[in-house]
Amino acid sequence: MTAIVEILSALFLLMGVFLFLVSAFGIIRLPDVYTRNHAASKSSTLGIMFILIGTLLYFYYEHGHFDFRVVLAIIFIFMTSPVAGHLIMRSAYHTGVKMWDRSVQDDLKKTR
Amino acid sequence: MSFQILLNVFLAVIWMFLKNEFNGSTFIIGYMLGLGIMFIFRHFFNERFYLKRVNAVVLLLLIFARELILSNISVLKAVLKPSLDIRPGIFAFETVLTKDWEITILSNLITLTPGTLVVEVSEDNRILYIHAMDIADKDEAVDSIKNTFEKAIMEVSK
């Protein structure tokens, strides 16, 4: 039983780190603020959630210590990170950051 | 809904007094019995039976989790693809939801959907401006927002 949980928590940690890596690559590779924000706000959210779930499982089965603060951290990150992504997007748009030249459509421009 | 939960807790406390046993397991038994009594008398409440709404909230949470994983897979594909052939853009989406908290939850869900992120909510709360990673998928995204998310949120607030 503990071996299964060990492997499971290791898998969670590895997946989380991999998602962090992908989000870092995305920030480097993608062309403008808006598309970079896609990578930053999604991948790192799930990445940090996976890492926290992995630590929760490990400490629960290996040391018999269920830390509820980790669960709270998962919930808080899950609630706040989409809002943070939206606010960065919005302030970038309102300060006039240009979209990538290969962008095709901008419905918001018509209303202003 | 909060009235029904309060009534249920109240019934459980009465059950503890009747049994003269004050511990967690008696409370849980009393809560279950109270749930049965309230289910029998559900037509006397103005709102629907509250377990239905709890069920809808759980369903919404499951949708959140599924969308988070799907959107990560799509970002992963876009980032790791050797050629950068995305065509980003902003499109307008008209929503039928009216209350503030409903729109907040909807925009959070859209942010976690594959390839879409909310840029702005219009002044009159009727139009959401959404930045899409790939504007070709726009119709698909609109479909999934309309059919899955709005429906699930309306199910909670009904």
3-class secondary structure for B30-78?
HHHHHHHHHHHCHHHCCCCCHHHHHHHHHHHHHHHHHHHHHHHHHHHHH
Among residues A32, A35, A47, A22, the alpha carbon closest in space to that of B80 is found at A22
Average pLDDT for A84-109: 77
The pLDDT value recorded for residue B135 is: 77
Cα angle, residue B87 at apex, residues B82 and B91 outer, rounded to 5°: 150
Q: Best mutation site among B87, B117, B118, B149 for testing chain A: the one with the most A CBs within 10 Å?
A: B117
Q: Nearest CA of chain B to the CA of A11: how many Å?
A: 15
Give phi and psi for A27, each to the nearest 5.
-65, -35
**pLDDT-based confidence at A103, cuts 50/70/90?**
low
CB-nearest to A104 from B87, B112, B115 is B87
At B121 the three-state DSSP class reads strand
pLDDT digits (tens, 9 = 90+) for A13-27: 999 999 999 889 888
Q: Which helix (H) or strand (E) holds B119?
A: strand B116-121
Q: Which whole number is the average pLDDT over A55-61?
A: 89
Residue B18 pLDDT: 92
Contact: A22, B120; criterion CB under 8 Å: no
DSSP 3-state of B93: strand
The ipTM estimated for the assembled molecules is 0.78
Residue with tokens 């039928």: B96
pLDDT digits (tens, 9 = 90+) for B14-54: 999 998 888 889 999 999 999 999 889 888 888 888 888 88
Contact assignment for A19 to B122 by CB distance below 8 Å: no
Angle between helices A33-63 and B50-80 (to 10 degrees): 120
pLDDT number for residue A107: 64
Residue of A nearest to B104 (CA): A83
Evaluate if residue B12 carries a pLDDT over 90: yes
Q: Cβ–Cβ of B119/A86 closer than 8 Å? A: yes
Positive or negative, the CA dihedral A87, B140, B106, B75 is: negative
Write the DSSP string, A33-62.
HHHHHHHHHHHHHHHHHHHHHHHHHHHHHH
